[in-house]
Amino acid sequence: MPYAVEMFFDVAGDSRVRGLWEEFAAIGAPSMSDSGARPHVSLAVCESVQIPAACHLLDRFAAATSSFSIALSSLGLFAGAAPVAFLAPKVTPELLSLHARFFSEFSVIAHQCWPHYSTPAWVPHCTLASGFPPQQLSQALDICRAAELPIICSVTEIGLIEFRPIKQLYATPFTNDRNA
């Protein structure tokens, strides 16, 4: 089973994204609402990982990383065979640096990392629906327009997930000291 490392939001951000998941489900889009997932931005996905080493890395990384704000500012679409609708965060140098710092350490303990999560290819995103029917794009735009993007969230936690089915294996909070 594949594994993912995901960054999770504060209660208010989590709630806003879950509300969008419900709205996508209401239009018949295969939303994340029934997946067992938490709203998140993934830092890495791989086919296998040394779980104890990954948990240790998450602890070290979280202790050295302050919680931070992220602005989920636009609707995006990965237009593959099973299109994915997502909220795209505003990409900042700090976000790219955080990903690069994490991925360089994680790729040492992970096996068969998915290439589109590697540092040069990473597109940060918060999935709304997988297998999204393109004919529902205008409804998705209406939902996001009504949500009054951007959604400002605090990224407060990082976790290790096993998926299909989704199972959270470990999570730890980022430090709350913004001056760390």
The domain spans of the chain are 3-173
Per-residue confidence (pLDDT) for residue 177, from 0 to 100: 58
Q: What percent of the chain has a predicted confidence (pLDDT) above 70?
A: 98
CA distance 114 to 118: 7
What is the predicted pLDDT for the residue at 161? 98
- DSSP 8-state class, residue 52: H
CATH class of 3-173: alpha beta
Is the pLDDT score of 97 beyond 80? yes
Judge whether residue 115 has pLDDT over 90: yes
Residue-wise pLDDT for 35-91, tens only, equals 899 999 999 999 999 999 999 999 999 999 999 999 999 999 999 888 999 999 999
The CA distance from 71 to 97, in Å, is 16
**pLDDT surpasses 50 at 180:** no
Asked if 86 and 78 count as a contact pair (C-beta separation under 8 A), the reply is: yes
Model pTM score: 0.94
Does the pLDDT of residue 179 top 90, yes or no?
Answer: no
pLDDT of residue 134: 83
